[in-house]
Amino acid sequence: MTDPVLSVRDLGVTLHRDGVANRVLDGVSFDVMAGGITALVGESGSGKSTIGLAAQGLLAGDADPRVTGSIQLGGIEVVGASAPMLRHIRRNLVRMVPQDPLAALNPVMRVGHQLHEGAALGQRPEDWLPKVGLPDVARIMPAWPHHLSGGQRQRVLIAMAMMSGAPLIVADEPTTALDVTVQAQILRLLRQLATDQGTAVLFVTHDLGVASALADQIVVLYGGRVAERGAARAVLTSPRHPYSRALLAARFDFAANRARPLPMTAGDPPGPAAERTGCAFAPRCTWSIALCQDVTPTLAQSDAAGTQVACHRAEEVRTASTVSQPNWPVLPVQSEVVLRLTNISLSFGKLKVLRDINFSVRKGETVALVGLSGSGKSTVLRLASGLLRPDEGDIHVVGQPQMVFQDAMSSLTPWLTVGEQLAERLRPLHLPRNKVQQRVEQALAEVGLPFVTIKALPRELSGGQAQRVAVARAIVVPPDVLLCDEPISAMDVSLAAQTLNLLGDVRRRLGMAMVFVTHDLAAARIIADRIIVLEGGRIVEDGAAEDVVAQPASAQARDMIAATPRLREAVST
Give every CB contact of residue 33 below 8 A, 6+ residues apart in sequence: 2, 4, 5, 200
Check if the beta carbon of residue 232 is closer than 8 Å to that of residue 216: yes
Check if the beta carbon of residue 112 is closer than 8 Å to that of residue 62: no
Helices vs strands, H then E, count in the chain:
22, 21
CA distance 64 to 15: 6
Parallel, antiparallel or unpaired: strands 402-404 and 392-397 = unpaired
H-helix or E-strand spanning residue 360: strand 351-362
H-helix or E-strand spanning residue 38: strand 37-41
> H helices within 418-554, ranges in order?
418-426, 433-446, 463-475, 493-510, 521-527, 545-550
244 CA to centre of own chain = 17
| Three-state DSSP class for residue 413 | coil
Confidence (pLDDT) at 445: 86
Give every CB contact of residue 319 below 8 A, 6+ residues apart in sequence: none
Q: Give one word for 494, left, alpha or beta, with left for phi > 0 and alpha for psi -120 to 50.
A: alpha
In one-letter notation, the amino acid at residue 62 is D
CA distance 329 to 332: 10
CA distance 458 to 484: 20
Confidence (pLDDT) at 110: 94
Confidence (pLDDT) at 273: 65
Confidence (pLDDT) at 323: 62
CA distance 490 to 15: 25
How far is CA 6 from each of CA 52, 206, 281, rounded to the nearest angstrom?
11, 21, 28
> H helices within 321-404, ranges in order?
377-385
In eight-state DSSP terms, residue 145 is G
Backbone angles phi, psi at 542, to 5 degrees: -145, 115
Confidence (pLDDT) at 519: 87
Q: HSE (CB half, 13 Å, CA atoms) of 215? A: 31
Please list the pLDDT of the chain residue by residue as tens digits (573 residues): 478 999 999 999 998 877 788 888 999 999 999 999 999 999 887 889 899 999 999 987 778 889 999 999 999 999 999 999 999 999 899 999 887 777 788 999 999 999 998 888 888 999 999 988 888 899 999 999 988 876 788 889 989 988 888 999 999 888 876 778 888 888 888 898 899 889 999 999 888 888 988 999 999 999 899 999 999 988 988 889 999 988 888 888 888 888 888 887 877 778 776 567 889 999 999 899 999 999 999 988 877 778 899 999 988 887 776 666 677 777 777 889 999 999 999 998 888 999 999 999 999 999 999 998 888 998 999 999 999 999 999 999 998 899 888 778 888 899 999 999 999 999 998 999 999 999 999 888 888 888 888 998 888 886 778 888 988 899 899 899 999 988 887 777 887 888 888 888 888 888 899 999 998 899 999 999 999 999 999 999 999 999 999 999 999 999 999 988 877 444 333
Q: Give one word for 448, left, alpha or beta, with left for phi > 0 and alpha for psi -120 to 50.
A: left
Confidence (pLDDT) at 258: 86
H-helix or E-strand spanning residue 104: helix 101-104
In one-letter notation, the amino acid at residue 18 is D
- Which among 83, 86, 81 has a CA at the least distance from the CA of 70? 81
In one-letter notation, the amino acid at residue 139 is R
Check if the beta carbon of residue 193 is closer than 8 Å to that of residue 174: no
